Homo-oligomer: A and B are copies of this chain.
Amino acid sequence: MSTLQVGIIGAGRIGRLHAASLMTRVPGATVRTLADPVLEGVREFADGLGIPRVTPDPAEILGDPAIDAVLICSPTPTHADLSMAAARAGKHIFCEKPVDLSIPKILETIRVVRDSGVRMQVGFNRRFDHNFARLRDLVRQGDLGDIHMVRITSRDPGPPPLPYIRQSGGLFLDMTIHDFDMAGFLAGSRVEEVSAFAAVLVDPAIGEAGDVDTAVIALRFANGALGVIENSRRAAYGYDQRAEVLGSRGAAASGNDTPSTVRVSTADGVLSDKPLYFFLERYMESFVEEMRQFVAAVRNGTEPPVTVEDALEPVRIAEAARLSRMERRVVRMEEIPGQAPG
């Protein structure tokens, strides 16, 4: 099959990362056009990778008959509209998470994408991480027996800037959304009930901005298993990304990745490396792998590994968590509107 021609909308950090992956590490695809409203520096970046075209206008990508697939790496509020436009233009879609913060908008996107017949993958990259994918494989293969408990520890090295926080949709939609996706992925089951505790412990300014920075969220899955997600906006030692699954036959736990395996023993103790600090470093390979699988799915005409329907559920769980926290009670997922059309 001929090489997949890709257009990328948004040449920020994540757009560039995907561009570099596609040009250097993902066989079977090439980037034909890179679109960004601010072209400064984009031309040089594109040249360095051998990407032939840059444009300030996404429409140039959507209207280019030579382009097979579009990567949507622009700001969140544009995701849904661009996805629908791409679907209507007959382009396959890879869209960064979240597709939208509004459930009706996601539902609309799902409908439009379904009607168009294009393939759409959503950027829940952590599913492609070597550690989490291994946990998932163990669950899927039955090595752990029936699943009883899933725990996710997810702590950022430090909070994002306040302006970002103010328009982020809040901790649950901005940070925990990855963990909500991971919870269902690891449990191999949908979430049915949510109970959330949250607090402002890291920075009072986050509370003043109407958000929280620390949370414990208990879950119950359709298969009966329980789950818990722990979040903090600040872990002084770096980016803490771990998970553990307990089943009837045993447990599997993933630890953090580190820059080296070196351990230094002195009179002060035995010192080993902190976790990788930066999410791009920690999850670099997962970004490449999700792109490989997207390209493969499009080229083979198969279902992508993370669909637009998968993007809906974490947003609904985030809403349930918000409601649980406000009303200080267990929330059942039926209470949250917008189940994906069957």
> A residues bordering B, Cβ < 8 Å?
23-25, 27, 48, 50, 130-131, 134-135, 138, 143-146, 148-149, 151, 153, 155, 193, 195, 197-199, 201-202, 214-220, 224-228, 230, 232, 234-238, 240, 246, 248-257, 259-275, 328-330
Are the CB atoms of B266 and A269 closer together than 8 Å? Answer: no
> Given contacts A218-B195, A262-B135, A330-B329, is CB(A250)–CB(B237) below 8 Å?
yes
Q: How far is the CA of A145 from the CA of B237 in the complex (A)?
A: 13
> Given contacts A246-B235, A264-B252, A272-B272, is CB(A197)–CB(B218) below 8 Å?
yes
Q: How far is the CB of A49 from chain B (nearest CB, A)?
A: 9
Are the CB atoms of B248 and A236 closer together than 8 Å? Answer: yes
User: How many copies, total?
Assistant: 4
Q: Would you mind naming 23 contact pairs between A and B with Cβ atoms under 8 Å apart? A: A131-B260, A131-B261, A131-B262, A143-B264, A144-B264, A146-B201, A151-B153, A195-B330, A201-B226, A216-B227, A218-B218, A218-B228, A235-B250, A236-B248, A236-B250, A236-B266, A237-B265, A237-B267, A249-B267, A270-B271, A328-B329, A329-B329, A329-B330
* New contact pairs (17) apart from A146-B201, A250-B264, A265-B275, CB-CB < 8 Å: A131-B261, A131-B262, A138-B262, A138-B264, A148-B232, A151-B230, A199-B226, A201-B224, A216-B218, A216-B228, A218-B218, A252-B262, A254-B261, A255-B262, A265-B274, A328-B329, A329-B329
Q: How far is the CA of A270 from the CA of B138 in the complex (A)?
A: 14
Are the CB atoms of A214 and B149 closer together than 8 Å? Answer: yes
Q: How far is the CA of A270 from the CA of B151 in the complex (A)?
A: 18
Q: How far is the CA of A130 from the CA of B217 in the complex (A)?
A: 30
Q: Which B residues are in CB contact (< 8 Å) with A228?
A: 216, 218, 228, 230
